[in-house]
């Protein structure tokens, strides 16, 4: 039998179920993975609620089809996630608690799905978000079901979670310009949060292994350190990221976002893209400073301004009423009309980052944003707000040298003034230091895309994972 016929035969009777945490930054990563696996002929089932499945398909649309993925719309009680408050960020990330509480309702329908697939399938593989550890215990209790956890944060963040939650003294180990010993006690995680992570880690003990959404060219040293951890040594680890597509299929249709049309008119690498992900909003006071800082920089920009009440995906898109913000922005839009675009709500981030006119990304350093930016070779102006973001910031600035800092994590309680915002933009976009950071970002981008292509480490790990589950 030739290789392709053999691979096709092996795929028969294998079912993969992916279970994301119901929060957008996690939903989209497993959708990207589901699309990659289904493109390779694997039968994939995406398990979530109707609302979340609709949202993620709508927002992460295009680029790769998901026609062959089986979406399962499980009932889930509506829940609202509070805004993670930067000043309270040292506490357990309370914004995740409603998602954790709601997600438990997925246990029963998930069990029913896994049982129904186990009977006719040769093999059932559950890939669950590492924060959905109840699913690991469930899989272990079902005959014929094997589980892998999926880490939706950086290997660096996972490593530090592990070390800190085990009370391990961080080693005097230098990676890039970062000595790991100085990272400890930075107020990123409380004892309560570390206890939560420890329990999560223990619950995934029965898993066959893990998938990491990262790649060796970004995090090789940290992936190696993780593989030396006692439990990881016994389990399989596949570093398959970045999962986001890197080639934009721009079909030039009328549904292109207006900001892309504007971007088309700008010179190469001249535009600063500003976005803080899907969980954080800035105070009106901070928005005013950011507006002033962007304008004072004299640089072109696209700024995605997310309204706080959009944190709840059940809120009606576009129905928010932010009188003070609207007032603040009414004249601003006219003033910056020639140099900038303010997008209220949602922008096509991947297309913006892939666009030749984009020259820098002011970001909160959520892991998706980091991976998307690194894979497109776009340097970052880092402004960490909560959770793993301070750690991702260190990775981008100190380890990879692909970013500059807007606001230090240690100053999270303070308002970041317009002057600091302006200065960080100028450092990256026109300063000497910026040239080197841009050069590094381009080089890292090339290395990441190589890792994703045939012969690269991430492609090889994805192949190895598929070979394992279909063997
Ligand atoms: C959350 C956590 O905050 C983050 O720390 C963790 O690493 C992942 O989960 P979030 O805050 O949403 O993520 O940030 P990020 O990880 O950057 O994900 C945002 C995603 O939404 C990206 O894929 C980005 O491309 C997309 N996005 C966001 C858009 O496409 N358009 C927008 O306007 C805003």
Reported as a single tens digit per residue, the pLDDT across 33-47 is 999 999 999 999 999
What ipTM, to 2 d.p.?
Answer: 0.99
459 & 437 share domain: no
Query: Cα separation of 244 and 213, whole Å?
Result: 10
Active-site residue, 129 included: yes
Nearest to 152 by CA among 130, 135, 134, 127: 130
337 & 402 share domain: yes
176 & 135 share domain: yes
Does this model's pTM top 0.90? My answer is yes
Say if 286 falls within a structural domain: yes
Q: Is the CB of 81 under 6 A from ligand 1?
A: no
Angle ∠(63,244,314) on CA atoms, nearest 5: 80
Per residue in 438-467, pLDDT (tens digit) is 999 999 999 999 999 999 999 999 999 999
Range of the domain at 187: 3-246+454-470
Give the chain's domain count.
Answer: 2
Atom of ligand 1 nearest to the CA of 367: 7
Residue 172 CA to ligand 1 centre (angstroms): 32
Highest mean pLDDT out of 248-257, 333-342, 402-411: 402-411
Query: Cα separation of 352 and 136, whole Å?
Result: 37
Say if 49 falls within a structural domain: yes
Q: Which of 257, 280, 302, 369 to mutate to test the pocket of ligand 1 (most atoms within 8 A of CB)?
A: 369
Q: Is the CB of 277 under 6 A from ligand 1?
A: yes
300 & 197 share domain: no
370 & 333 share domain: yes
Say if 252 falls within a structural domain: no
Bridge-based pairing of strands 271-275 and 358-363 is parallel
Say if 459 falls within a structural domain: yes
Say if 253 falls within a structural domain: no
CATH number of the domain bearing residue 358 = 3.40.50.2000
Q: Is the CB of 349 under 6 A from ligand 1?
A: yes
Confidence band for 315, pLDDT divided at 50, 70 and 90: very low
Active-site residue, 32 included: no
21 & 85 share domain: yes
Mean pLDDT over 163-179 rounds to 80
pLDDT of residue 348: 93
137 & 187 share domain: yes
371 & 304 share domain: yes
């Amino acid at each position: 039998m030739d290789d392709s016929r053999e691979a096709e035969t092996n795929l028969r009777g294998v079912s993969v179920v992916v279970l994301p945490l119901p929060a957008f930054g996690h939903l989209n990563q497993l959708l990207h993975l589901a699309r990659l696996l289904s493109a390779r002929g694997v039968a994939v089932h995406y398990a979530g609620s109707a609302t979340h499945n609709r949202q993620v398909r709508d927002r992460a649309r295009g680029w790769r089809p998901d026609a062959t993925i089986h979406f399962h719309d499980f009932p889930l009680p509506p829940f609202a996630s509070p805004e993670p408050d930067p000043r309270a960020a040292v506490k357990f990330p309370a914004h995740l608690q409603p998602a954790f509480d709601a997600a438990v309702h997925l246990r029963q329908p998930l069990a029913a799905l896994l049982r129904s697939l186990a009977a006719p399938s040769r093999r059932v593989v559950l890939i669950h978000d590492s924060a959905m550890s109840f699913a690991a215990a469930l899989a272990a209790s079902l005959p014929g079901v094997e589980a892998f956890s999926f880490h939706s944060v950086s290997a660096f963040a996972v490593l530090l979670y592990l070390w800190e939650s085990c009370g391990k003294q961080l080693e005097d180990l230098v990676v890039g310009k970062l000595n790991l010993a100085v990272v400890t006690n930075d107020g990123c995680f409380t004892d309560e949060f570390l206890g939560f992570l420890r329990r999560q880690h223990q619950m995934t003990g029965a898993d066959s292994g893990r998938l990491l959404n990262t790649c060796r060219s970004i995090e090789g040293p940290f992936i190696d350190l993780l593989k030396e951890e006692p439990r990881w040594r016994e389990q399989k680890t596949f570093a398959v990221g970045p999962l986001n597509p890197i080639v934009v299929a721009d079909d030039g249709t009328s549904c292109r976002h207006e900001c892309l049309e504007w971007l088309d008119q700008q010179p190469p690498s001249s535009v600063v893209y500003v976005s803080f992900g899907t969980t954080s909003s800035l105070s009106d006071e901070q928005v005013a400073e950011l507006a002033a800082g962007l304008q004072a920089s004299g640089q072109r920009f696209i700024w995605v301004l997310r309204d706080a009440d959009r944190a709840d995906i059940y809120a009606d898109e576009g129905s928010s009423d932010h009188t003070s913000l609207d007032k603040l922005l009414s004249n601003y839009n006219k003033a910056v009309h020639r140099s900038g675009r303010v997008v209220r709500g949602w922008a096509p981030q991947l297309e913006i980052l892939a666009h030749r006119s984009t020259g820098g990304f002011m970001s909160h350093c959520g892991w998706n944003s980091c991976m998307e930016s690194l894979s497109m070779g776009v340097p970052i102006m880092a402004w960490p707000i909560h959770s793993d973001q301070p750690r991702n910031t260190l990775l981008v600035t100190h380890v990879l040298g692909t970013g500059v800092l807007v606001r230090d994590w240690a100053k999270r309680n303070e308002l970041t003034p317009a002057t600091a915002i302006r200065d960080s933009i100028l450092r990256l976009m026109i300063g000497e230091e910026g040239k080197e950071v841009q050069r590094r970002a381009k080089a890292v981008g090339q290395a990441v895309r190589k890792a994703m292509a045939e012969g690269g480490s991430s492609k090889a790990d994805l192949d190895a994972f598929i070979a394992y589950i279909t063997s």
